[in-house]
Amino acid sequence: MLPLTKRVFTGDRRAVSRAISLVENRVGEYSVLLGEIYPHTGRASVVGVTGPPGTGKSSIVDRLVSLCRRKNYSVAVLAVDPTSPITGGAILGDRVRMLEHSLDPKVYIRSMASRGNAGGLSRAAKDSIRILDAAGNDYIFVETVGIGQTEIEIVGVADTVLVVIMPELGDEIQANKAGLMEIGDIFVVNKSDLPGADKVVYNLQSVLSSREGWKQPVIKISAKTSEGMDTLLSKIEEHLRCAREPDRLAKRTAARLAEELIENVAFAVSEDVRVKLQRDAEFRSLLDKVEKRKLDPETASTLLARKYLGHLES
């Protein structure tokens, strides 16, 4: 076993940071590490927090961390930003906001930005959650900055997903609920002091329905004043008990692992095709025709795809 793996198991913060960096950059002995860590995962409760920007997700996580610490749980926060190719202000902001927890050895906070590769980020997030899990954290909060496809994929690995919205967001944002309705286990209406909060709760309740025996609740809170935060944590715990019930957990995990393997393999193969195309004389010749408008991109793509799919058939 790698010395780093052993240190991760003891919950050593510096080891955890180092391990996440290896996994994030896919360097060093990251694959050995992941292999050693994997058998020791599955214990932590993973809570995903998503929703439009500006709804106060970080503040909510901050409050939930405090409540969890009062119950003496150890907690990790993974803040993921697929829209930012560099670690930007938001994530720095989170860190500042999280300052009150920074001296608490039982709270670990980590940010992760995209480096221009959404697929890679999603994978790095999944593997980082495994590291945080193996390090003995009771709760892992996974927070995203926005609500894009990647964000939904990332929080999708959680046992319980909170969707945070707020009053006074335009129609545009309300429409985004379409994508969020399916992923949310608990809907949180933050900034409950703003006008229109009750209307948002009502509108949400009217479109939500039960699934797998769980009625998606809508909880009105104010992260600023802490109003409703206890109720929220109770609901999270209630959903976690339901979601982590062994049969249910095994079934969900199996489906997710299948999707993860397929995703990884499809990604590896498509990356390889990209590299091969760059050196492919036929690609250059077809591209030249497309540039001169003698051939359209659709036909050129189909011809090239057929060639590479032909390789796959063999």
Footprint (CB under 8 A) of a second copy, residues 119-138: 127
Q: Which is nearer to a second copy, 84 or 192 (CB)?
A: 84
Interacting span for a second copy (CB under 8 A) from 66-74, 89-97, 99-107, 230-238: 89-97
Q: Which is nearer to a second copy, 183 or 240 (CB)?
A: 183
- Contact status: 175 vs a second copy (CB under 8 A): yes
- Contact status: 304 vs a second copy (CB under 8 A): yes
- How far is 149 from 164, CA to CA, in rounded Å? 16
Q: Which of 1, 17, 25, 42 forms a contact with a second copy (CB under 8 A)?
A: 42
- Cα separations (Å) of 189 from 56, 83, 211, 253, 260? 10, 24, 21, 29, 31
Number of H helices, E strands in the chain: 13, 9
Question: Which helix (H) or strand (E) segment is 163 a member of?
Answer: strand 160-165
Q: Which of 102, 205, 225, 301 forms a contact with a second copy (CB under 8 A)?
A: 301
Q: Which is nearer to a second copy, 81 or 159 (CB)?
A: 81
DSSP line for 94-156: HHHHGGGGTT-TTEEEEEEE-TT-HHHHHHHHHHHHHHHHHTT-SEEEEEESS-SHHHHHHHT
CA dihedral 53, 56, 57, 63 (to 10 degrees): 170
CB 178 to a second copy: min, Å: 4
Interacting span for a second copy (CB under 8 A) from 4-12, 53-61, 101-109, 131-139: 53-61
CB 145 to a second copy: min, Å: 6
Of 213-272, which residues contact a second copy (CB under 8 A)? 250, 253-254, 257-258, 260-262, 264-272
Contact 8, 131 (CB under 8 A): yes
Residues contacting a second copy: total by CB under 8 A = 89
Cα 160 to chain centroid distance, Å, stands at 12
Q: Which is nearer to a second copy, 88 or 104 (CB)?
A: 88
- Contact status: 198 vs a second copy (CB under 8 A): no
Q: Which of 54, 207, 227, 230 forms a contact with a second copy (CB under 8 A)?
A: 54
The total number of residues shown for the chain amounts to 314
- Contact status: 191 vs a second copy (CB under 8 A): no
- Contact status: 159 vs a second copy (CB under 8 A): no
**At how many degrees (to 10) do helices 297-313 and 246-278 cross?**
110
Q: Which is nearer to a second copy, 82 or 184 (CB)?
A: 82
Q: Which of 22, 145, 236, 243 forms a contact with a second copy (CB under 8 A)?
A: 145
| 157: Cβ contacts below 8 Å, ≥ 6 apart | 46, 48, 125, 126, 129, 142, 256
Interacting span for a second copy (CB under 8 A) from 7-15, 64-72, 139-147, 231-239: 139-147
Q: Which is nearer to a second copy, 100 or 271 (CB)?
A: 271
Interacting span for a second copy (CB under 8 A) from 3-11, 12-20, 141-149, 228-236: 141-149
CB 229 to a second copy: min, Å: 20
- Contact status: 177 vs a second copy (CB under 8 A): yes
Q: Indicate if the alpha-carbon torsion angle 91, 94, 98, 99 is positive or negative.
A: positive
- How far is 52 from 217, CA to CA, in rounded Å? 19
Q: Which residues are registered as beta bridge partners of 163?
A: 50, 187
Contact 190, 155 (CB under 8 A): no
Edge-to-edge strands of the sheet including 75-81?
Answer: 107-113, 75-81, 139-144, 45-50, 160-165, 186-189, 218-220
Q: Which of 114, 190, 216, 222 forms a contact with a second copy (CB under 8 A)?
A: 114
